[in-house]
Amino acid sequence: MIALIQRVSDARVVVDGETVGAIGKGLLVLLGVEKGDDEKKAHRLHEKVLGYRVFEDAEGKMNLNVQQAGGEVLVVSQFTLAADTKKGMRPSFSGAAPDEANRLYEVFTHYCRESGVQTETGRFAADMKVSLTNDGPVTFWLQV
């Protein structure tokens, strides 16, 4: 599983003109599911995402995780993260796991909510418009 996380001051997802998920300060998580991913990987990735120290402490150092910083999480499914871009000029999605993606997206989101973090989502497989204000910019690729 892959999570591209961005520290944001705000982020939102709009589907057909309707805001379906929005947060203030926190993490925008673009989530990709690959073949071979399972609930165990979803759990490990959620722990890594929520525990990753990307927020500044009183001394200006990135020492706080999203919970310690009082932030929120917006999770958006993004199958293109599973693309193989090593060859040619067109991505291959042979490594993506469309049959398991929605279930594992829901599992990941459940784990985040269960951890006590305010968690919003996009809409799985919808044509989403994602807007954000990247704070920093701070962006990390996490994979388990």
Q: Give the structural domain span for 37.
A: 2-143
Instruction: Indicate the Cα dihedral angle 55, 60, 62, 66, nearest 10°.
Output: -20
Distance CA 42, CA 3 (A): 10
- CA 113 to CA 79: how far, in whole Å? 22
The residues annotated with a catalytic role in the active site are 78-80
Domain count, the chain: 1
- Angle made by CA atoms 103, 108, 110, in degrees to the nearest 5: 95
pTM: 0.95
Would you state the pLDDT for residue 98? 84
Residue 123 belongs to domain with CATH number? 3.50.80.10
Contact 46, 107 (CB under 8 A): no
Q: What is the pLDDT of residue 99?
A: 87
In contact, 24 and 70? CB cutoff 8 Å: no
Q: What's the confidence (pLDDT) of residue 55?
A: 98
Q: Please report, in tens digits, the pLDDT of each residue of the chain (144 residues total).
A: 999 999 999 999 999 999 999 999 999 999 999 999 999 999 999 999 999 999 999 999 999 999 999 999 999 999 999 999 999 999 999 889 988 999 999 999 999 999 999 999 999 999 999 999 999 999 999 999
Phi, psi of 73 (to 5 degrees): -130, 135
